[in-house]
Chains A and B, each alone.
Chain A
Amino acid sequence: MQNNQHSLPIIIFFISTIIGVGIVTLPRETASVVGQPNMWISVILGGIVAFINALLIFMLMKKYPLKTVFDIAPELVGKWFGKLFNLVFVCYTIAISAYVIRTMAEIVNYYLLDKTPKIVVLLVLVLSCMYLVSSGLPNILLFFQLYFPIILFMFLLLTLLSIKNIEPTHLRPILYMDGIDLLKGVNSTFFSFVGYELLMVLSGEHRLTRWKPVASILGISIGSVCFIYVLFFILNIGVLSIEELKVITFPTIEMAKAIEFQGFFFERFELLFLFGWIITIFTTLTAYYYSAMLGFCKTVNCKKTFLINAIIGLVILILSLLPSGITELFSYGTYLNYLSYASLIAIPLLLFLFSFKKGAMK
């Protein structure tokens, strides 16, 4: 556990899970709340909040080595309340999966396949993900490792190509602080860090009990995601300016579109970005899909069969097809945030408090 060889796959797992929809929609969301060029400070603050939350979750999981949240909830708060907690968490993971893939479908429809029905776009994605999920957690970790260098390379390339387009005037005034607005922004930036809560699921197969390695795993993963977000925020603001950010639906893709690189085989770089970004969506989906399946199986006490896998996939697919358009999708996003509060903060906190009570009773 202590050595690098063991923690690297977990760091990669977290980074691949956390980066997803956020990188495309977050600049707009934050711009509409904060509306100033140094809104990337909100991202850092959001990262810090996420890190503290992650440490809380770790403090809970530390007491129960090699157990997932689905195992300890019935143990701590009684069988039926535990099952309720589990179901909330499962609903949360399914909802996140559905939200993420629906956003992707919108983007795919907008930029790549304008006539293909969403159900086809989503069906092939869920089916291919089902195949990966059915192969188990070790293989999922391997899959993330395979794509991790590709994702990093893509982000790096996009950054290098975009630097040329930055208008320094867009970034001014530098470090002008409006504290209250920045704090308001944390509310939305915090949610683009979700993914670390799968520590509660990952702890089932990895012995994550010692402070130093786990804190460094969480620190490195949330820190690097934070770095990538800040980088893309600065690029976004620099290339598009705050005013444009507020109105563009998917600013990062527009930013990639703005890249012009004459004399190469293709001039348009949003394809390159979309390629990398769909990979991150797929990894996010896989992580949550797997957690949903595991949670469901643990709650109703059954084996991880193909049938369960297919049912979860079907639920995700149906849920993702529910919103009629992009506006409705984003309003669902706010409901999702409440569910996130419940699963990210309420459940771990309650379980943590109950664990003290249980300890005292013994």
Chain B
Amino acid sequence: MKRKRFVRSSSLVEEQIKLEFHNSEDLKHKTIQLDGLTLILLYLDDISDRMVIQKTILSPLLTISKDDTKISPTDIPDLIPMASVTNIEDHSTISRHLMDGCTVLIVRETTDDHVYSVKTTYSVKRSPDEPVNEPTISGPRDGFIECIQDNKALLRTHLKTSDLLFEQYLVGKDVVTSISITYLKGKASETLINEVRNRITKIEVDYITDAGVLEQLIELNPLSVFPELTSTQHPTKVANALLEGRVAIMTDGSPTVLVAPTTLNMLLQAPDDYYFKWIPASLLRMLSYFTALISVLLPAAYISLISFHHGLIPTSLAVSLSKTREGVPFPSVIEAFIMELTIEILREAGVRLPKPIGSTVSIVGAIVIGETAVSSGIVSPMMVMVISFTAICSFAIPNYQLSLALRTIRFFFLFFAAMLGVYGLLIAIFIVTTHLIKLRSFSSPYMEPFAPIHFKRWKDSIIRLYYRVGKRTGI
């Protein structure tokens, strides 16, 4: 309502803007008289570069004023030696330009107002460093940062093709965030792009702080633990996904870029896989599938064998296992839950603490708690081994969101295994796979290429065959 009134009002533009910013101190206002014309400069002090304003706007205009040539308001953009000078027709967007760090130049000729915006942005940015949670061994080491313009630039440098398109959308009622749908024209299917557009335009929310929030707003299965979109901070990963015909969604103010549609297979791939020769790379792939399975199933399988099926363990192993469990006061399920909980707490503590103290936590956790828990007989050494191996396996999963999901469902498996042994474990596997089968990420099946079965695409799933390099098959 407020904005509409503002558009119609014919009173002084600058007063209206000042009112909209509640006479904030950092909104600077400068008036220059230039034979017959009144030039009003408006800018937000902290996010505009004062040096740029002085060099490109003030000094050219002030030197001209000494000449006697008559200037009309429409000449003003030509006088400013800056590439990006735009004419603002809709006065309601002035405040947005200001917030982007532009300098707004109001040229007044008696009653007529011409408004121009000059890009004089000054912002504090970090350099595009390697993403902390997705380190790579070889390959490009740049990572996305919090500024959407720079992220687009990064993507452009990785994908030098005229097919790369960005579509800008503004989302948020109170605070507007710009979101960019990115795709390669001709590679991504129109239906997919339309679906992404639809979901983005349907968002009704006050403000978006991060891509993680956006992800939750556009996904269709809020009850699922599995990520419906891949989030990554690696430009190469996004570039690869775009070449496969996927769509990327960039959020201003977030270094995370979302990629849709996502498959489980995609979440288990690391960018490194493509940079090595195909045989070791295939082995690494298999390893990441294996670790994903282990990180979900190992504690449950161990529990079920220990508490239900002693007969299935080789005799010598069974004997040594029962020896280590001697004197442990809890049933193995409780033991497993205690250890799992401890590991999760240690992990969270490690994440929250500053780095120098973080290592202390791991020493306290590993040596003090682990060692003393075993020697005091609260848990058996085998259990400690199983749980810590599981934790290490979950660290090896390339995607953090996926590893979080697997950590969550591990407890589900643990519960079923504790109730019904191996049979219960199998039932739990049925339930989870049914869920995964039902899951759709932007209308494409989550378990592709395993269900629906595409033997041809298996060459880039559990294994990575050599002819995949440089030639992308698309989704």
* Inter-chain contact A268/B312, CB cutoff 8 Å: yes
Closest A residue by C-beta to B313: A266
| B427 engages A268 (CB within 8 Å) | no
Nearest A-chain residue to B458, judged by Cβ = A149
Minimum CB–CB distance from A282 to chain B (whole Å) comes to 6
B contact residues around A271 at 8 Å (CB): 309, 312, 422
On chain B, the residues within 8 Å of A85 by CB distance are none
Binary interface encoding of chain B residues 413-447 relative to chain A, with 1 for a CB under 8 A from any of its CBs, else 0: 00000001111101100110110011000000101
Chain A 262-303: CB-based contact to B (< 8 A → 1; otherwise 0): 000111100100110011001000000000000000000000
Beta-carbon contact of A278 and B423 below 8 Å: yes
Determine if A116 is an interface residue (Cβ-Cβ < 8 Å): yes
B313 CB to closest chain A CB, in angstroms?
6
Q: Which of B309, B422, B423, B433 has the most CB of A within 10 A?
A: B423
Q: Which of A55-63, A123-131, A247-255, A335-343 contacts B (4 or more CB under 8 A)?
A: A123-131
Q: Is the CB of A113 within 8 A of B421?
A: yes
Interface 1/0s, chain B 303-338, versus A by CB < 8 A?
Answer: 000001101111001000000000000000000000
Let me know if A132 and B422 touch, CB within 8 A: no
A121 at the B interface (CB under 8 A): yes
The residue of chain B having its C-beta at the shortest distance from the C-beta of A8 within the complex is: B453
- Smallest CB separation, B310 vs chain A (Å): 11
Q: Does A108 contact B (CB under 8 A)?
A: yes
B309/A145 in contact, CB under 8 A:
no
Total of A-B residue pairs, C-beta within 8 Å: 79
Residue B466 is within 8 A (CB to CB) of chain A in the complex: no
Knowing A139-B437, A145-B451 touch, does A131 contact B431 (C-beta < 8 A)? yes
Taking CB atoms, residues of chain A closer than 8 Å to B470 are none
Nearest CB of A to B90, in Å:
48
1/0 contact string of A101-115 vs chain B (CB within 8 Å): 000000010001100
- Verify if B122 is at the interface (C-beta below 8 Å from A): no
Per-residue CB contact flags for chain B residues 445-456 toward chain A (1 = under 8 Å, else 0) read 101001111000
Given contacts A128-B434, A139-B437, A282-B430, contact A146 B447 (CB under 8 A): yes
Chain A residue at smallest Cβ distance from B317: A265
* 0/1 string, A178-220, CB within 8 A of B gives 1: 0000000000000000000000000000000000000000000
CB of A267 within 8 A of CB of B314, answer yes
Interface residues of A in 136-151 (CB under 8 A from B): 139, 142-143, 145-149
Q: Do A142 and B437 touch (CB < 8 A)?
A: yes
Cβ-defined contact, B427 with A128, below 8 A: yes
A304–B211 CA distance with the chains assembled, in angstroms: 38
Contact A128 B431 (CB under 8 A): yes
From B426, B433, B452, contact of A278 by CB (8 A):
B426
A135: B residues at CB distance < 8 A? 434, 437-438
State which of B420, B437, B447, B452 has its C-beta within 8 Å of the C-beta of A116: B420
Contact flag A145-B423 (CB < 8 Å), given A128-B434, A139-B438, A267-B314: no
Closest to A129 in B: B430
Chain B residues whose C-beta falls within 8 Å of the C-beta of A8 in the assembled complex = 453
A9 close to B (CB within 8 Å): yes
B308 touches A112 (CB 8 A): yes
If A131-B434, A271-B422, A275-B422 touch, whether A142 touches B312 (CB-CB below 8 Å) is: no
Within 8 A of A (CB), among B51-104: none
A112 to B310, CA, bound (A): 10
Given contacts A112-B308, A143-B451, A145-B451, contact A121 B431 (CB under 8 A): no
Distance A213 CA – B108 CA, assembled complex (angstroms): 78
Task: Known contacts A128-B430, A131-B434; decide if A113 and B451 are in contact (CB<8 Å).
Answer: no
Q: Which of B109-161 contact A (CB under 8 A)?
A: none
With CB as the reference atom, state the residue of chain A lying closest to B455.
A8
Residue of B nearest to A131 (CB): B434
Within 8 Å by CB of A113, from B311, B314, B420, lies B420
A143 x B433 contact (CB < 8 A): yes
Is the pair A266, B420 in contact by a Cβ cutoff of 8 Å? no
> A256: CB under 8 A from chain B?
no
Q: Does A12 have its Cβ within 8 Å of any Cβ on chain B? A: yes
Docked-complex contact A266 and B452, CB < 8 angstroms: no
Complex partner residue of B422 from A9, A112, A129, A148, CB under 8 angstroms: A112
Q: How far is the CB of B151 from chain A (nearest CB, A)?
A: 36
Q: Do A143 and B427 have beta carbons less than 8 Å apart?
A: no
Residue of A whose beta carbon sits closest to that of B456: A5
- Is there an interface contact between B451 and A142, defined as CB atoms closer than 8 Å? yes
Q: Residues of A contacting B427 with CB < 8 Å?
A: 124-125, 128
Task: Compute how far the CA of A160 lies from the CA of B389 in the bound complex, rounded to whole angstroms.
Answer: 31
Any B CB within 8 A of the CB of A120? yes
The answer to whether B453 and A148 have CB atoms under 8 Å apart is yes
Find chain B residues with CB under 8 A from A12 CB: 453
A1-21 residues at the B interface, CB under 8 angstroms: 8-9, 12
A189–B146 Cα gap in the complex (Å)? 67
Bound CA–CA A108/B308 (angstroms):
12
Contacts of B433 in A (CB 8 A): 143, 146-147
Q: How far is the CB of B76 from chain A (nearest CB, A)?
A: 63
Chain B residues in 8 Å Cβ range of A282: 430
Asked if B451 contacts A146 (CB within 8 A), the reply is yes
Inter-chain contacts of B453 with A (CB < 8 A): 8-9, 12, 145-146, 148-149
Q: How far is the CB of A216 from chain B (nearest CB, A)?
A: 18
Tell me, in angstroms, the Cα distance from A128 to B434 when the chains sit together: 9
Return the CB mask of A331-349 against B: 1 if under 8 Å, else 0. Answer: 0000000000000000000
CB-CB under 8 A from A129, the residues of chain B are: 430
CA distance A113 to B452 in the complex (A): 34
C-alpha gap A271/B433 in the complex (Å)? 20
Q: What are 19 of the A-B contact pairs (CB < 8 Å)?
A: A8-B453, A108-B423, A124-B420, A128-B431, A132-B434, A132-B437, A142-B447, A142-B451, A143-B434, A145-B450, A145-B452, A146-B433, A146-B447, A146-B451, A149-B453, A266-B312, A266-B313, A267-B314, A279-B426
Interface residues of A (CB under 8 A from B): 8-9, 12, 108, 112-113, 116, 120-121, 124-125, 128-129, 131-132, 135, 139, 142-143, 145-149, 265-268, 271, 274-275, 278-279, 282
> Sorted from nearest, which 7 A-B pairs have the closest CB atoms?
A146-B451, A142-B451, A145-B451, A145-B453, A132-B434, A142-B437, A128-B430
Excluding A129-B430, A146-B450, A149-B450, 16 further A-B contacts by CB distance (< 8 Å) are A9-B453, A108-B423, A112-B309, A113-B420, A120-B420, A121-B420, A124-B424, A131-B434, A135-B438, A139-B437, A149-B453, A265-B314, A267-B314, A271-B312, A274-B422, A278-B426
Interface residues in chain B, defined as those with a beta carbon under 8 Å from any beta carbon in chain A: 308-309, 311-314, 317, 420-424, 426-427, 430-431, 433-434, 437-438, 445, 447, 450-453
